[in-house]
Amino acid sequence: MKRFWKSFFITNRFFLITGIFIFLFLVAYFFPVLFGITRVLFLAFVAAFLVDAIILYRVRKPLTGIRDCAEKFSNGDDNEIRITLESSYPQRVFIKVIDELPVQFQKRDQVFELDLASGEVKVISYPLKPVKRGEYLFGLLNVFATTQLGLVRRRTQLGDEHAVAVYPSFIQMRKYELLAISNQLTDHGIKKIRRIGNNMEFEQIKNYVIGDDYRKVNWKATARKSELMVNQYQDERSQQVYSVIDKGRMMQMPFDKMSLLDYAINASLVISNIALKKGDKAGIITFQQKVNSILPASSRNIQLNLILEHLYKQKTAYKEADYSRLYATLKRKVTQRSLILLYTNFESLSSLKRQLGHLRRIRKQHLLVCIIFENTEVDQLINSKGEDIEEVYTKGIAEQLVYEKKLIVKELQAHGIHTVLTAPKELSVNTINKYLELKARGLI
């Protein structure tokens, strides 16, 4: 009986009709001639109510359904959810589905309405876009069924509660990997860099074919074989590429609901995968008031999975970042000259100068690239007309912030530190561009 009352609901239509009958009985009190008609109609309404309830509850298991989704979600991307429903009612019913989404989404209006004929199966599909890593708990599917009478609604709870882990953006990682394999990177903003110099390792001598560079003809081998032979080279490999992620308070700033830290984590996964595909070694270092974690650079087959799990587990209190400890750790732990991709953020020139000495010392040992973020939220303020004094003042502050970022870039470049100033959404593309540029110039 307790289960029955948990599933039994009265619809708005029932309350509307009940209100009409109350009004009719009040009218009949003053006009007794109407009382008999009102009574007959009311009895008919009660009978319809009972019939409606019997139709809905005469089937023991009226609906079956499941929620189908991936075991792992990709952070910052649309992840598809599929709900499959089947009706066991002998007649058509009208369905309202309320999905109990994880609390992190803060959505209580995920409602779908449809109708199902007897034995019919329908699939509901919708996307979810998480903006934080971690474990997300899905609840039950609440399915409410009504008949054409629409006086009673029966609730059926389907599926099971289950958790889904939200990982760094492996969808973005796969996208850039496929583009790299199909040579379509330039279609997505990644520049085609002309190789400069001769930073290549000798691989073999082979027969000349039309299209080979004549400057690579090996004349000694040609003389011995009596046919044109050319040297074949391959890019230098096994360079160390470290993604160093600042987890300090400046990385807490959100853009499109996702923090700069999570943007940096997503980009680190993408660039690590590209580096491994290029034959380099990839590693991860994270720090804030101290160096929290180090995953040594490697090119082994399981390295990408290790990087994915390493990035997924990152947590932070957003404390002040200590660059002196980062320098000490790099000096002690990373002895081979490496490419250091430092994801950080400086909002003022004074904050940069406090850390500049440590960055210069890192640059002496490694090829350092500082990746900092544009504040894209101020673009709208800069482009506004400024119709009153307050708006003009706000626009001036926004322009000052943008100018300060440009000064930061110039200061870093003046000390020989490579710099990438990027919008958060373009972080992965711009980081790949910088990596390919440095490879082409033979700097790593």
- Answer whether residue 371 shows pLDDT above 90: yes
Q: Can you give the pLDDT at residue 114?
A: 94
The pLDDT, as a whole number, for residue 198 is: 47
Task: Indicate the average pLDDT of the chain.
Answer: 88
- Every domain of the chain with CATH number 2.60.40.10 lies at 1-167
Residue 184 has pLDDT above 60, yes or no: no
Average pLDDT over residues 8-16: 91
In this structure, the number of other CB atoms found within 10 A of the CB of residue 202 comes to: 9
16-38 residue pLDDT tens: 999 999 998 898 888 888 888 88
Burial state string for 272-296 with b = 16 or more CB within 10 A and e = fewer than 16: bbbbbebebbbbbbbbbeebeebbe
pLDDT on residue 234:
57
Determine the pLDDT at residue 269: 96
Distance CA(267)–CA(241), nearest Å, equals 13
Top-confidence residue, 192 or 95: 95
Give burial (CB, 10 Å; 0-12/13-18/19+) of 125: exposed
**Comparison of pLDDT for 109 and 234, the residue scoring more:** 109
The tens digit of pLDDT for each residue in 322-343 reads 999 999 999 999 999 999 999 9
127 has a pLDDT exceeding 90: yes
CATH class label, 170-194+236-440: alpha beta
Q: Which of 35, 268, 251 lies closest to 168, judged by CA?
A: 268
**Residue indicated by tokens 């626009």:** 395
Lowest mean pLDDT among 28-37, 116-125, 230-239: 230-239
Comma-separated ranges of CATH 3.40.50.410 domains in the chain: 170-194+236-440
Nearest to 164 by CA among 67, 71, 69, 66: 71
- Look at residue 212 in the predicted model and tell me its pLDDT: 73
Buried residues in 231-243 as b, exposed as e (16+ CB within 10 A) = beeebeeebbbbb
pLDDT grade for 180, boundaries at 50, 70 and 90: low
The CATH number of 1-167 is 2.60.40.10
Query: Closest Cα partner for 365 from 329, 394, 396?
Result: 329
With cut-offs at 50, 70 and 90, classify the pLDDT of residue 308. Answer: very high
Closest to 420 (Cα-Cα) out of 312, 354, 350, 339: 339
pLDDT value at 376 more than 50: yes
Q: Which residue has the higher pLDDT, 32 or 192?
A: 32
What is residue 185's predicted lDDT score, i.e. its pLDDT?
53
The pLDDT score that the predictor gives to residue 197 is 46
Measured between its terminal Cα atoms, the distance across the chain in Å is 73
Mean pLDDT across the stretch 76-82? 95
Torsion-angle region of residue 164: left (phi > 0), alpha (psi -120 to 50) or beta? beta
pLDDT tens digits, residue range 393-424?
777 887 888 889 999 999 999 999 999 999 99
For 266, phi then psi, to 5°, come to -60, -45
d(CA 169, CA 126): 19
Confidence of residue 105 (pLDDT cuts 50, 70, 90): very high
d(C-alpha 375, C-alpha 384), whole Å: 16
- For residue 442, the model assigns a pLDDT of 79
Nearest by Cα to 133 from 263, 246, 251, 243 = 263
**Angle of CA points 184, 190, 195, to nearest 5°:** 95
Which of 188-197, 235-244, 315-324, 433-442 shows the lowest mean pLDDT across its residues? 188-197
What is the Cα–Cα distance from 412 to 360, expressed in whole angstroms?
A: 9
